[in-house]
Structures are given as structure tokens and as C-alpha cells.
Copies of this chain bind each other. A is one copy, B any other.
Amino acid sequence: MNFTQELNWIRRHMPRTARMVSQLGDCRGKKVTICTHLDIKMVPLYEGFLKQGGELFVTTCNPTTVRDEVVSYLSSLGAKTHAWLNMSQADWEQSLQQALDWQPDYVCEFGAEIMSRLQQRPGQTMKAGLEGTGSGVSRLKQANMTFPVFNWDDLDAKEGLHNRHMVGLTAWQAFFERTRMTLHEKNVVVIGYGLVGQGVAFSARAYGGAVTVAERDPARRLMAQYDGWHVSELDDAIAQADVVVTATGARNVITARHLRALKSGAFVMNVGHVSDEIDTSELDLTQGEEVLPHIYEYQQGNKHFFLLANGAMFNLTASFGDSVNAFDVTLAIMASGLAHIMGEGANADPGFYLLPDAVWKPAVSAITLDTPASQ
């Protein structure tokens, strides 16, 4: 599937985004820096903004997720760009600085790289910002904002949808695609019962798995029990596990001791929020044999286990991420946030705000799916 074909498909199936983009109206004279993933699913918002006259500086929140065709395409529409796949740390830092030198009026970010650097720059003229990740929000909450910033990560409609409904489903979809195995007859141990863990558990059942949840927090543990799951201490569960999944957001949830306790042939997968939920420090990662793409086998005495994506976030590494229709909701909310910071939101006092209901709720409201706005 080529880029044009793929972009056409995506564009046609993101009607909520199309609706919000058309509501951005005339964007002439608006200077916006974006520092986000540069995935093809972001394009409908950015191309709309450009086509409606806006000025865009394109950098990335993560050099490992840049799709170069996206950068080229946005450049062809007139955007200034400074990002490529796997750019060096130095190049990346330079890119962020260039974004600031460009003197944008507005910034849309995943991770607050730009806004946190702004603090060190006297005389900046930023009017308003938009932040869409939990880590960015944490970072900014500690800073002293000199302009208003709107957080849309904490909206139920964003976090609930992605964390609860997308991560688990796409992780198991990728598991099946990569291993050709379903979860039937398998004990699946889900570590962590936040929204991600909940989705992992429910989707695992759909793939046939017998799920056990391990969770330290007593209230979440109870919630897992009220949802009808088997709940166990991790140390008890691990020896029976056929598949172990980390979904906690914490580091080193699975340690070398746990890996040693595994049955031979078990699968270990991380779909949490950080890439080091599995402590691989005692493994020699160069020793894992990639027996199938993304599936690394490790020997432990007379046993072996399979470490998916070598411990990186498997749902991101081995699948294509959120479905187009789900991401349409997310991107439409982001579009509503962009409209807000370019409009009324810029008049707010400096500080940190949750994106108001009146802004984003119209973005998620129902749309007649058979009349895509972009046709």
C-alpha cells in the first residue's frame, strides 16, 4: 500500500477530524509549531491547517517514530520541516531550537519539549500551547508558565478511548499477527489494572486467554476482582503463566527473578507506558535470537522464553497503532484544541488548564459516517 493510497483511505475515514478542520476557518497569519509523532494519521489535521493558509513548523517529539514521507508531504504543502527518522540526538536538539527561533505564536506538543525549553528563552512571544501527553503535563505542572497551556491528555474521551480500548486490542492483534498464536489454553497474566491493563485483560479474553490480574494497589486489585478476574500475587502467578504482559507505567515490574521463574516457552510482552517495565539488565540483549520478526528467544539453562520486541512497547513496535476510526476522535479533539488556542484560549491568563468541555465535546459528537466531509 503506497503513501497516497494510504493517506486517501485515512482521510476518507476521519470525518470528525475533517469537520473540526473545516471549523478552523481561515488560518492565514497563524504560526504553529508542532512537536508530535509524525505518523500518517496526523496528516489530516496538518494538511488542513496548511491548506487553509496556516504556517507550520514541523518537528517531532520522538525521532524513532518519524515517517519521512509525512515530512516530505507536509513540506510539499509549504511547511517548514526539520525532522527525519532516527535523527541524532544533536540533530533533534537543533530541530527543537530551530522551532523556537522560528518564533511561533502557538505550539502543539506531545511531551512539552518546546514549552519546557521556552522557559530558558527570555523575550519569547508564545501566545498559547496545547499538550497531549501525561509526561508533558507533569513536566509543565512544575514550570512557571508565562502563557496559557491547555491539557487534553486527561480528558476521558482521549485517555479512556486510547488506553482502555486501543492498547490491549492492538497488542493482541500484533501478538496474533507476529506469532500466529491465539491465547486459547494459555494463562495470561496481566500486570497492572489501570485503563491499559483493563483493556489488555478484556481483549485477551476475546483471543481465548484465561486471564489472571496481578496488581499491588488494593483498590485497583479489588476493581479487578469486581470485574470478575482471577487475581493473584505476581510471584504466584508467574510460574503458571504462558503469556505475561506488563501494563503498569512503572519500571522494572518484571525482574530477572521473575524471568527465571517462567515456564519454558512463555511469552513476555510490555504494553505499558514506559519502555523499561521489564528489567532486561541481566539479559544480554544481543544474545536473543530473533526467531520470528519482533520475537526474541532467550535460553535460561534448559528453559527458554520469548521476549516480544526485546521488551520495548510491543503495541507500538509491532502494530500500526490506534485504528483510523479511533484516532479520528483523538485528532478531532486535538483539532478543537488547536482552534481554541488560536482563538479564545489565547486570552486566558498564563497558567495550566484542562481543555474545556465546550471546546472538545462538539469534536466527539456523532457524525453521519456515510458522508465523509473530505469527499
* Chain A residues close to B by CB (< 8 Å): 1, 5-6, 8-10, 13, 155-157, 160-161, 164-165, 169, 173, 176-177, 179-182, 184-187, 202-203, 205-212, 217-219, 221-223, 225-226, 228-231, 242, 263-266, 291-293, 303, 320, 323-326, 329, 361-362, 364-366, 369-372
Q: 5 pairs across A/B with beta carbons < 8 Å?
A: A156-B219, A160-B226, A181-B324, A184-B228, A265-B372
Cross-chain contact B218 with A180 (CB below 8 angstroms): no
Bound CA–CA A169/B206 (angstroms) = 8
A179 surroundings in chain B (CB, below 8 A): 9, 324
A371 surroundings in chain B (CB, below 8 A): 264
A361 surroundings in chain B (CB, below 8 A): 217-219
Cross-chain contact A182 with B169 (CB below 8 angstroms): yes
Nearest residue (CB) in B for A182 is B323
Q: How many copies does the complex hold?
A: 4
Cross-chain contact B218 with A366 (CB below 8 angstroms): yes
Top 5 nearest A-B pairs (CB, nearest first) are: A206-B206, A218-B365, A182-B323, A264-B370, A263-B370
Q: Chain B nearest CB: distance from A200 CB in Å?
A: 13
Bound CA–CA A263/B368 (angstroms) = 10
Nearest residue (CB) in B for A211 is B228
